[in-house]
Structures are given as structure tokens and as C-alpha cells.
């Protein structure tokens, strides 16, 4: 008990010192156009909280036990993995040894689309890519929302992390999510050996287990049967046995809420992630459409929440409003305000949190100010690298303020006992 009390007092002190952005320019740069006083998690229901997530984070922080799985979903903002990577690194930096591994990712280069900088993908063979966001694309999708397939008799791919500030994402297990025509193709490690190969037909992956930690993914895919269907790759998970935070980013260029509803294997693959917290950032493409339907948008999100809860009932949610944007670079997109109201309704009905990115960045027309300061691109939709990193820092600050509030409440309960 005494260790828990001391840990709680330490937590309160720690996060009062490091996450109150308004008074600490070393944590966040100070811009007069950012609404720092709005930078917190909003709750619209008396029983709404992130306590399941914060409880697991607390146990990890002060007992060094468990995995905390966070999944952020969106469109091109997330596929680039700058915003999400900034959050990932921030979580790993709040306390020593909180790197729980890299988790789920997709080698986007195989699908002929932009790949995050921080992991390099190389491949051989002819691959085709299919995105859930492209109406003329018809394919089987899983939780990643993107599929790469090959019909070649021999193909390969490698994944290696790079970048001076990239954490050491070593792993002891690799899950390859693919179609289950196991007689048609054989997946083999190219330059390594493993101690076990596990085929999970119910979820749809082949797992390779190693005796020691690895840092490079290197696979060759052989075609056994000339009459077989193409080999379809849905994603990869890099896992280890270490306690820590695992931050999974799920993003597809152009994706809307309806895009993810096309993923027939979404729930199956989600079983391997089992998220404690899901951060929903889908909406910039929904609200870009002049025929945007707020109720349809809300209903699509209801379905996604139901899917996730059916797999992981204790998952907590944060709904993130759209960033300010312009329509065709000329007109402020007022539909973002309708989408924001839908986010409030969703947070209310699902006992979830809402982070008001739209108001934090300055409201209607603020994207022009961000552009002026080198934080947004000329399309007045996307941010620059510095802009996404700032957005990640702002969101992290808001989440950790919520954690500080949780520790205060938890301390009161302990003292009352």
C-alpha cells in the first residue's frame, strides 16, 4: 500500500511538472494562435472516463508490468505516421523502459503508396496495391485497410527501421497477416532461422518465433501451385515479451469512416491488437465531400465502435475532431463544425473522450495561420512535418493531463481507505 501511495504522489508531481504545456515552453513551443486553454480531453457524460486505459498505464508506470496497446486510426494524416510517431515516442519517453515494441504496421511501399520514413521497405517481385478508400478497388481488407498482392512465383520484402531518433524496435515474434491459401504459397525467412512457426487459421496469420531478439524483417514468398490465387498481404505485427506501450497506427490515404467498413477481416485481425485505447481521427475525408451527412458519419462510427467492443469490451475511446481545412484551397470548410458536433454526440453516447483539435489549432480559418508559420502545407488540408509533430505533442499533453487527474482521484480513494 505504501508503495502505491508514494507512486501516486510521484505521478501527480511528475505530470504537474511535465505536461502543463501553457507554463512550460520546453515541452511545447508557444504560439499565440494555439488555444492552449482548450487543450484537454472533453467528457460529456458523467460516467465517461479513460480509467481502463489509465489503470493499465499506471500499473506499467509504477510496477513495470503489462502491455498497454494504443491504436490510432485515420486517413493520410496517419498513414504518414508523423503525428502518430510523435505520440509513440512521447509515450516511450515518459519513463525508462516503456518501449513495448512496434506492433502492427504495413509495408506501404509494396502497395505503391507513400511509406512512413522511419521504417524502410524494399521488395522484389511484382506487387499490386488496393486501398479501402478507392471506390474502384475491390479486395479483401483487414484492420490495416490496405492490401498488397502478388502472383509471382518468387517475391520478397524486407523492413528495417532507420532514423537517428527512432527507438530500438527489436522483436522476438513476427505475425504475417495473409490469405489462408497455405498450399499455394510458402512464406520463409530469407536469412534467418526461427524456433517455431505457428499458423493461425481462425485469425489469419503465420507467426515466426525466434530464440533471441531481431531487428530486420526479411521474407521470401514462394509459389507452390501455379493454379493458386494470388498471395495477399494484409499487414505485419512485430512483437516482443517486454512490458511497455505499443502504439499501432492505422492509416490509409483518402480513407473515410465508410472505407473502414469495407474491411471484412477487421475484427479478426483486431484480436491480435486488443487495444486498451483507440484514438479515432477519421473524418477529414468525410467532411470534404459537399454532400457530407453528419448522421451517416455518426452511424459509421457507431459500427466501428461496436466492432471494436465486440473484440475488446474494455477499450476506451478518444474521438478527435477534424483539423481546420479549406475546400479546393479557396473556401474555409465549415463542414468541419458539423463533424465536430457529431464527435460530441459520439463521445457522449459511448462514454468516451473528445479532443477538440479544431478549436486547439484556432478554429475556422486557422489552417492559413498554421501555413504562414510553416506548420501546414499549401493544400490547406495537410500539415508539415513540424505541424504533425506539434499536433502529436499537443494531443499527448492533453492525454497526460487526463492521467494526472486520474492519479489525483486514485490518491483520494487510497487515502480514504
- Write the pLDDT tens digit of every residue in 65-104: 999 999 999 999 999 999 999 999 999 988 767 899 999 9
pLDDT higher than 50, residue 417:
no
Task: Say if domain 101-241 classifies as CATH 3.30.70.
Answer: no
Contact call for residues 400 and 93 (beta carbons, < 8 A) = no
Task: Say if domain 28-100+243-403 classifies as CATH 3.40.50.460.
Answer: no
Contact call for residues 27 and 397 (beta carbons, < 8 A) = yes
pLDDT higher than 70, residue 3:
no
CA distance 119 to 116: 6
Least reliable range by pLDDT among 6-20, 49-63, 184-198? 6-20
Total-model pTM: 0.92
Q: 91 Cβ partners below 8 Å, 6+ apart? A: 70, 98, 245, 247, 396
Dump pLDDT digits (tens) for 313-370: 999 999 999 999 998 888 888 999 999 999 999 999 999 999 999 999 999 999 999 9
Q: Give residue 97's pLDDT.
A: 76
Beta partners for residue 238, in sequence order:
103, 174
Contact call for residues 109 and 123 (beta carbons, < 8 A) = yes
Contact call for residues 234 and 147 (beta carbons, < 8 A) = yes
Domain boundaries, the chain: 28-100+243-403, 101-241
Intra-chain end-to-end CA distance of the chain, in Å:
10
Least reliable range by pLDDT among 2-11, 202-211, 230-239, 251-260? 2-11
CA distance 172 to 210: 5
Dump pLDDT digits (tens) for 288-314: 988 899 999 999 999 999 999 999 999
Which whole number is the average pLDDT over 41-45? 94
Identify the burial level of 108 via C-beta atoms within 10 angstroms of its C-beta, where 0-12 means exposed, 13-18 middle and 19 or more buried: buried
Computed over every residue of the chain, the mean pLDDT equals 90
Amino acid at each position: 500500500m505504501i508503495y502505491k501511495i508514494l507512486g501516486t504522489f510521484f505521478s501527480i508531481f511528475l505530470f504537474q511538472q511535465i505536461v502543463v504545456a501553457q507554463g512550460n515552453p520546453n515541452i511545447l513551443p508557444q504560439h499565440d494562435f494555439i488555444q492552449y486553454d482548450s487543450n484537454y480531453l472533453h467528457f460529456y457524460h458523467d460516467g465517461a472516463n479513460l480509467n481502463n486505459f489509465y489503470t493499465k498505464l499506471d500499473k506499467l508506470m509504477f510496477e513495470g508490468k503489462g502491455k498497454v496497446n494504443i491504436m490510432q486510426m485515420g486517413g493520410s494524416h496517419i498513414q504518414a505516421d508523423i503525428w502518430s510517431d510523435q505520440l509513440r515516442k512521447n509515450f516511450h519517453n515518459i519513463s525508462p523502459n516503456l518501449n513495448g515494441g512496434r506492433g502492427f504496421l504495413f509495408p506501404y511501399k509494396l502497395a505503391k503508396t507513400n511509406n512512413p520514413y522511419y521504417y524502410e521497405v524494399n521488395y522484389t517481385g511484382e506487387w499490386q496495391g488496393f486501398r479501402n478508400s478507392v471506390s474502384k478497388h475491390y479486395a479483401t481488407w483487414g484492420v490495416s485497410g490496405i492490401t498488397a498482392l502478388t502472383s509471382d512465383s518468387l517475391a520478397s520484402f524486407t523492413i528495417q527501421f532507420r532514423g537517428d531518433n527512432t527507438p530500438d524496435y527489436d522483436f522476438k515474434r513476427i505475425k504475417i497477416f495473409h490469405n489462408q491459401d497455405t498450399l499455394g504459397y510458402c512464406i520463409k525467412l530469407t536469412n534467418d532461422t526461427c524456433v517455431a512457426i505457428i499458423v493461425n487459421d481462425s485469425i489469419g496469420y503465420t507467426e515466426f518465433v525466434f530464440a533471441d531478439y531481431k531487428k530486420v524483417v526479411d521474407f521470401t514468398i514462394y509459389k507452390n501451385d501455379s493454379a493458386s490465387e494470388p498471395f495477399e498481404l494484409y499487414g505485419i505485427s512485430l512483437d516482443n515479451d517486454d512490458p511497455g506501450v505499443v502504439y499501432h497506427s492505422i492509416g490509409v490515404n483518402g480513407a473515410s469512416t465508410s472505407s473502414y467498413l469495407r474491411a471484412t477481416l477487421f475484427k479478426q485481425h483486431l484480436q491480435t491488437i486488443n487495444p486498451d485505447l483507440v484514438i479515432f481521427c477519421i473524418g477529414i475525408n468525410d467532411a470534404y465531400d459537399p454532400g457530407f451527412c453528419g448522421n451517416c458519419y455518426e452511424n459509421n462510427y457507431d459500427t466501428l465502435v461496436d466492432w471494436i467492443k465486440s473484440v475488446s469490451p474494455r477499450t476506451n475511446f478518444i474521438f478527435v475532431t477534424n483539423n481546420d481545412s479549406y475546400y479546393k484551397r479557396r473556401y474555409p470548410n465549415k463542414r468541419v463544425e458539423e463533424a465536430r458536433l457529431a464527435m460530441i454526440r459520439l463521445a457522449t453516447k459511448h462514454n468516451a473522450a473528445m479532443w477538440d483539435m479544431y478549436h486547439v489549432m484556432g478554429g475556422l480559418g486557422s489552417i492559413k495561420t498554421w501555413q504562414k508559420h510553416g506548420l501546414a502545407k499549401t493544400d490547406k488540408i495537410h500539415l508539415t512535418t513540424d505541424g504533425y509533430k506539434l499536433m502529436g505533442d499537443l494531443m499527448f499533453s492533453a492525454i497526460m493531463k487526463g492521467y494526472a487527474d486520474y492519479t489525483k482521484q486514485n490518491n483520494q480513494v487510497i487515502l480514504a481507505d
